[in-house]
Chains A and B, each alone.
Chain A
Amino acid sequence: MVKINGEELNIAGKSISEFLATTNYDPKRIAVERNGDIVPKAQYDETMLCDGDVVEVVSFVGGG
């Protein structure tokens, strides 16, 4: 299982690109962190998600 934004998903073995393709995220508008390290966009294809990974997908929202 891979924890994405706090939710356990059965996507171990997929790349970040493959995972993103299954979602509504706009790749241009997000940043991805895997196990505390930022994953540059250029590495989405080659970065494989492993069992136990903790991933955060973030974007900008309104704020002060």
Chain B
Amino acid sequence: MNNDKLIIGGHEFNSRFILGSGKYSMKLIEAAVKDAGAEIITLAVRRANTKDQENILDYIPEGVTLLPNTSGARNAQEAVRIARLARELGCGNFVKIEIMRDSKYLLPDNQETIKATEILANEGFVVMPYMYPDLNVARDLVNAGAASVMPLASPIGSNKGLATKEFIQILIDEIDVPIIVDAGIGRPSQACEAMEMGVSAIMANTALATAGDLPLMASAFKNAIEAGRKAYLAGLGRVLTRGASASDPLTGFLRD
């Protein structure tokens, strides 16, 4: 287990839990990162507010890798613009591409995401595209230079769990870069199940931000993700198609 690293774009991580930082107080970030054991945290880029004296970067512990997203982008061009601004903010070259055309379901635009991935990968970014789980698109993203692919489990912020399970399994089976489930994971058990299937990591935000006790839920997710990873590495026991199989010896019964 000690050698079991998550490798994204040549960077090694021990944690397989990517933490979002949206929709909760900056003051909780340090506890969330610590209790999640997270080594990567996502951020958004927005117009700077002259009234706010506080900056989220002041609350993120040292050594945590920042993963800016391109939220707000409606096409590849806008995503590229936001990614470049994020890099100019001086916190590394990771970017999570997020391109949405509709504000009702917030589904990713896979075609524009492929275009943005190609441009940004060529500019030296470590590109982690959020995507609707489609094998052909995932292959195109890898060919375009994606360092991982981030399929949604269910709509963003819904906490509905692994609605796209079968299609994520196909990505696990066929795609060689890390598959990181992003969006929709609402419970630790769902994160655990995805990890058991063989995804490389879990990204969660709303599940924590809407929990009763955020740091405690971060800790619960950490344990669930680790349990799922161990189960995957161990290899799950088989499932019988029918009938039963005794766990006890079928000899030496106390009868004649």
Interface residues of A (CB under 8 A from B): 5-6, 23-26, 28-31, 33, 36, 38, 40, 56-64
Contacts of A58 in B (CB 8 A): 45-48, 85, 89
Task: Evaluate contact between A57 and B22: CB separation under 8 angstroms.
Answer: no
Q: Which of B50-58, B138-146, B186-194, B244-252 contacts A (4 or more CB under 8 A)?
A: B50-58
Task: Evaluate contact between B44 and A30: CB separation under 8 angstroms.
Answer: no
Task: Evaluate contact between A25 and B50: CB separation under 8 angstroms.
Answer: yes
Residue in A5, A30, A60 whose beta carbon sits within 8 Å of that of B56 in the complex: A60
Contacts of A5 in B (CB 8 A): 47-48
A58 → B minimal CB distance (Å): 5
Contacts of A36 in B (CB 8 A): 81
Task: Evaluate contact between A31 and B85: CB separation under 8 angstroms.
Answer: yes
Task: Mark out the residues of chain B between 191 and 238 whose CB falls within 8 Å of any chain A CB in the assembled complex.
Answer: 203, 205-206
Give A39's nearest chain B residue, CB to CB: B88
Using known A-B contacts A58-B46, A59-B46, determine if residue A64 contacts B20 with beta carbons closer than 8 Å. yes
Using known A-B contacts A38-B84, A63-B69, A64-B21, determine if residue A26 contacts B44 with beta carbons closer than 8 Å. no
Give B157's nearest chain A residue, CB to CB: A64
Q: Which of A28, A29, A64 has the most CB of B within 10 A?
A: A64
6 contacts between A and B (CB under 8 A): A5-B47, A30-B89, A57-B47, A60-B43, A62-B56, A63-B69
Task: Evaluate contact between A29 and B88: CB separation under 8 angstroms.
Answer: no
Contact with A along B41-79 (1 / 0, CB 8 A): 011111111110101110000000010110100000000
Contacts of B183 in A (CB 8 A): 64
Contacts of A61 in B (CB 8 A): 43-46, 56
Task: Evaluate contact between B46 and A64: CB separation under 8 angstroms.
Answer: no
Q: Which of A31, A59, A61, A62 has the most CB of B within 10 A?
A: A62
Task: Evaluate contact between B47 and A31: CB separation under 8 angstroms.
Answer: no
Complex Cα spacing A63 to B209, Å: 11
Contacts of B157 in A (CB 8 A): 64
The answer, yes or no, to whether B24 is at the interface (CB within 8 Å) is yes
Using known A-B contacts A24-B50, A24-B51, determine if residue A62 contacts B44 with beta carbons closer than 8 Å. yes
Using known A-B contacts A31-B85, A33-B85, A38-B88, determine if residue A60 contacts B50 with beta carbons closer than 8 Å. no
Contacts of B170 in A (CB 8 A): none
Contact with A along B136-160 (1 / 0, CB 8 A): 0000000000000000000011000
